[in-house]
A and B are shown apart, each in its own frame.
Chain A
Amino acid sequence: MSKRAITYLIVIFIAMALALHYPFVAVANKPSMIYGLPVLPIYLAFIWLLMILASFLVVRKGKSDDSNGY
């Protein structure tokens, strides 16, 4: 994997870690409903899926690189 791809993965980690914790998670931490679904579980599921998609794209792009280095 290229250094750039690894950097992207680290960025994904940091962004996720922030989005899933206080104070950012507090934005969605409300008892209200959206389309009949509670807001917070939807928010968490969204972040989760976003992260899967982002890492999928990063990893797929970095596929052709060699396996040495950091």
Chain B
Amino acid sequence: MGIEWIVIILSSAYLGLLFIIAGWAEKNADKRWLSSPYIYALSLAVYCTAWTFYGSVGRAANQGLDFLTTYMGPILMAPLFWLVLRKIIRICKAQRITSIADFISARYGKSLFLGAFTTVICILAIIPYISIQLKAISSSFRIFNADVNESRGLFFNDSAFYLMAILAVFTIFFGSRKIDTSQKNTGLITVVAFESLFKLFAFLVLGLYVTYGLFNGFSDIFLQSNELPYFERLTTIDHVDGYGDWFWLNLLSFFAIILLPRQFHVAIKENNSENHLKKAIWLFPLYLFLINIFVLPIALGGNLLFPENAVDADTYVLAMPLAQGNTFLALLVFLGGFSAATSMIIVSTSALSIMISNNLMIPGILRNEFLSKRLNPRLNKVVLRGRQIMIVVMLMLAYLYFKYIGQPFPLVSIGLISFVGVAQFAPSAIGGMFWKGGNYKGAIASLTVGFLIWGFTLVLPTIVNADLLSPEILDKGLFGVKWLRPQAFLGVDFSNNVAQGFMWSILFNGLAYVGVSSLTTQSIKETNQAEVFVDIFKYSTVYESAIVWKGQAFITDIKSLLSMFLGKRRTDLAFERFSDRNAIEQSTIEADFRVVNFAEKLLSGAVGSASARILMSSVVKEEEIKLEEVFNILQETQRYITDNKELKKKSEELETAGVKLREANEELTKLDKLKDEFISTVTHEMRTPITSIRALSEIINDNEDLETAERAKFLDTVVEETKRMERLINQVLDLEKMESGKLEIPFSTIHLNDVVTESVRKVKQLITEKGIMLNTNLHGKLPLVKGNRDRLVQVILNLVSNAIKFCDSSNGEITITTSVRNGSVELSVSDNGPGVPNDSQKLIFEAFYQARNQTLKKPEGTGLGLTICKKIIDKHQGSIWIENGKESGAVVAFSLPKLKL
């Protein structure tokens, strides 16, 4: 079996693999990594075609560093991705724009003519570009089989034809699955990313093989080739013409990276998230760096190995391993080139097919009465089939171009001519995105002028070269006018035709755009679109309200139009969501301008903006709008946005205020409840003595013959009870004063030990009577505190009397301790009673706690003592707490801040 069969089997297997990957990715489209920023950055590398793979080396071997200009532009654009690409992405998402032709047409009032014109330029520029991919593959086939002569014969003998057929099937399968082009083609993008990785891998392996296998590293190649007579020319920029060419060619690829239909397709149409750009900003230049690093070494190595142009430099990458008998590597490289070519062909044809269907086919059908009558009811099928047919037609044209016209050119020149073609969109597309003044007439002028100069300076010479025109025009100029020679336009003769052609076309193009736009006026629809395009970040969230529309439309009509393209289910769902979001009644019959704009946007995803415009105007009755209205509505929209922001802020403030209010209310309710409880407890506490006073008084009153001793005992009790009431009332008043803040407690500098001594003196009597032992454990160097002596005595007396109440009845012991802890002065009173249950330790300071807890033995006292103590200590900025002693009993302690000296 000959090697050519291995090549054929391998390439078929490779294509099979692509089908498998795409099918798998399409099924697993919800997997997260399939829509990751890495896949996105890799898909951008569809920029590197077979032209990069074979042509870069060829160009480097013949012209030197010139080959780098194709990559300098994109890496210069990379830092601007966030500024430029993101804006395009945002605009395209808001308006469901999916191609460069739609973009330009939409910007200038959804013009049919501009869309069609742009599409035609794209076809003319890209078909030859696709054809050089076929050429690259076909000539790499031939390297493996030198016996086969150029197959000028019948197509079924030609490998390129079969390749084209397979790619057509692939693109139809994975590039035009859905009618709504704003949906993502995960399968296609995954394949493109895979191919990007594969071609990089193949090229790096070859580069390492040449640099370190055939030679001894970079410096070896450069030192050896230093001997070549043209070495200096290959490693420097020419001092006379070089800088100019360098600049213009860099600028050319700077535009191409955004405007090429396939780049627009992967970078904008298939973009999942603007944030992916952040990775692409550095990852894409890194990719380009890696794929270029070995180009010069391979080119120079090839020049050394094949002196005297023995081998076409475009095929060095294959010829070098083959000459060394390394067939395996040659096959890998072949597949690398193959992958570069196929990914470009797949993406370009699917991008072109959408452009053609949106801007040529559908408008053509809609405008033709005969066709539109017959095809209108199944327009959706027509659109999808049309796109698929277009894919076949594009590939067919590319094949024919390759077969009959493109043969004599090196890969690079045709690629660059295509670049110049699409670069003509730069003023109207990029300019229109940043300058509101650019208008329809300016765009027409710009594209026409650019297109004509491009055709004259660059395309015409290729036609002459293909022997389709006499070379007379190149030498003598158009109509024999010397300065109208294509390759020396206006008498200026560059060394590089492409640089020259690009310079003239883009200069006149830009001038025409600015000049004509400034001299003419915009239509109203255009003004509106210009406003939305340039200020997209203002409008993208309220897009539907930013497009001015006046007229009459019915929702049912709009819905039935949409369902034709999107299906009934999706249409209903989309409408439901939109109505929800914009608070539109479901039952509304007449559509307002937001609905119309929304529907037109949805439709744009399927048929392009210009066609969507026509379709919509067939179901709605539009009225003329005045310019002032456009501005009024736009202003309103903007005001709506700012108002909205303010409203949001206000409502947030309100919400926090509401939360605070609720909290305050809860606090108040709680206090209110406490107050109620307090009153009921106080009255309850007072009723007990009053009842007993009344009962005793009645007994004394009713029984005049009561014995004197008995009477005296009763009267004693009455007096006791009255005292108890008086104490209670005093304490309630005290507490009330403290709570309302009316009670002024004068502070002085005091020593807590003195206060303890004074208090002990006062209770000594009582304690001795009860047979309780009182210990004091006073700190020797207790710092001074600020406080009110009398009030603190009151606290200590209260604590001690509590201790007396609760301590062991037979063997009572109370200890008063003062100490210093954490910069505070602490005093504790401990007893050897039953202690306090843990869950009551905090509650015990609340008023009438013991009264409410009937399980406790009803002790003497009012139940306000500890509450008052807490209030007093609070006034001293101290704290009071209760805990259980280490062995038994309770410890009530308070701490006061140490006096700062």
Q: Mark A residues whose CB is within 8 Å of B.
A: 1, 6, 9-10, 12-13, 16-17, 20-22, 25-26, 29-31, 33, 35-38, 40-41, 44-45, 48-49, 51-53, 55-56, 59, 62-63, 67-70
Contacts and interface: CB of A to CB of B under 8 A. Distances in A.
Given A21-B246, A56-B282, A59-B281, A48 B76 contact: no
Contacts of B65: 40-41, 44
A19 to B, nearest CB: 10
B537 interface: yes
A45 B293 contact: yes
A64 to B, nearest CB: 11
Q: Pick the most buried of B218, B222, B236: most chain A CB atoms within 10 A of its CB.
A: B236
Contact of B236 (A1, A31, A53, A68): A31
A46 B82 CA distance: 24
A45 B72 CA distance: 11
Contacts of A52: 282, 285-286, 289
Contact of B537 (A21, A48, A68): A68
A31 B65 CA distance: 13
A37 B218 contact: yes
Contact of A33 (B72, B222, B275, B279): B222
B274 interface: yes
B757 interface: no
11 contacts: A21-B246, A22-B243, A25-B246, A37-B218, A51-B79, A52-B285, A52-B289, A55-B285, A59-B279, A67-B275, A68-B537
Contact of A41 (B235, B275, B281, B289): B235
The list of the 10 closest CB pairs from A to B, nearest first, reads A36-B219, A38-B235, A22-B243, A56-B282, A9-B79, A31-B232, A13-B79, A12-B79, A55-B282, A59-B278
B239 A10 contact: no
Contacts of A33: 222-223, 226
Interface string B236-262: 110100010011001000000000000
B75 interface: yes
Contacts of A9: 79-80, 82-83, 281
A52 to B, nearest CB: 5
A31 B286 CA distance: 27
A10 B80 CA distance: 7
Contact of A10 (B78, B79, B289): B79
Contacts of B340: none
A7 to B, nearest CB: 10
A20 B250 contact: yes
Contacts of B76: 13, 16-17, 20
Interface in B52-93: 65, 68, 72, 75-76, 78-80, 82-83
Nearest to A26: B243
Given A37-B219, A51-B79, 12 more contacts: A1-B278, A13-B76, A13-B80, A17-B76, A20-B250, A26-B243, A38-B236, A48-B289, A49-B289, A52-B285, A52-B289, A68-B537
Interface string B211-235: 0000000111011001000011001
A67 B358 CA distance: 31
B239 A29 contact: yes
Interface string B89-123: 00000000000000000000000000000000000
B562 interface: no
Interface in B314-339: none
A22 B80 CA distance: 21
Interface string B254-296: 0000000000000000000011001101100110010001001
A47 B892 CA distance: 77
A29 B79 contact: no
Contacts of B219: 35-37
B75 to A, nearest CB: 6
Nearest to A53: B282
Nearest to B68: A44
Contacts of B250: 20-21
The DSSP consensus for interface residues of chain B is helix
Given A48-B289, A55-B79, A40 B274 contact: no
B65 to A, nearest CB: 7
Interface residues of B, number: 38
Contact of B222 (A17, A38, A63): A38
B235 A63 contact: no
Contacts of B296: 41
Nearest to A69: B537
Contacts of B239: 29
A60 B888 CA distance: 64
Interface of B: 65, 68, 72, 75-76, 78-80, 82-83, 218-220, 222-223, 226, 231-232, 235-237, 239, 243, 246-247, 250, 274-275, 278-279, 281-282, 285-286, 289, 293, 296, 537
Contacts of A31: 231-232, 235-236
A40 B72 CA distance: 14
A22 B245 CA distance: 11
Contacts of B235: 31, 38, 40-41
A6 B278 contact: no
Contacts of B220: 36
A12 B222 CA distance: 31
Nearest to B72: A20
Contacts of B247: 21-22
A20 to B, nearest CB: 6
Nearest to A12: B79
A62 B764 CA distance: 76
A36 B537 contact: no
Contacts of A51: 75, 78-79, 285
A67 B863 CA distance: 64
B83 A6 contact: yes
Contacts of B223: 33, 36
Contacts of B232: 31
Contact of A59 (B72, B80, B282): B282
A28 B223 CA distance: 18
A41 B232 CA distance: 12
A29 B237 contact: yes
B51 to A, nearest CB: 20
Contacts of B231: 31
Contacts of A55: 78-79, 281-282, 285
Q: Which of A31, A38, A63 has the most CB of B within 10 A?
A: A38
Contacts of A30: 236
B216 to A, nearest CB: 10
Nearest to B278: A59
Given A21-B250, A22-B243, A22-B247, A36 B285 contact: no
Contacts of B278: 1, 59, 62-63
A51 B247 CA distance: 18
Given A13-B80, A17-B76, A70-B537, A40 B281 contact: no
A63 to B, nearest CB: 7
Given A20-B76, A44-B68, A6 B82 contact: yes
Nearest to A48: B289
B207 to A, nearest CB: 14
B743 to A, nearest CB: 55
A46 to B, nearest CB: 11
A50 to B, nearest CB: 11
A53 B274 CA distance: 21
A35 to B, nearest CB: 7
B309 to A, nearest CB: 22
Nearest to B288: A48
Contacts of A68: 537
A66 B801 CA distance: 66
Given A45-B289, A49-B289, A40 B79 contact: no
A59 B81 CA distance: 11
B232 to A, nearest CB: 4
Contacts of A12: 79
Contacts of B79: 9-10, 12-13, 16, 51, 55
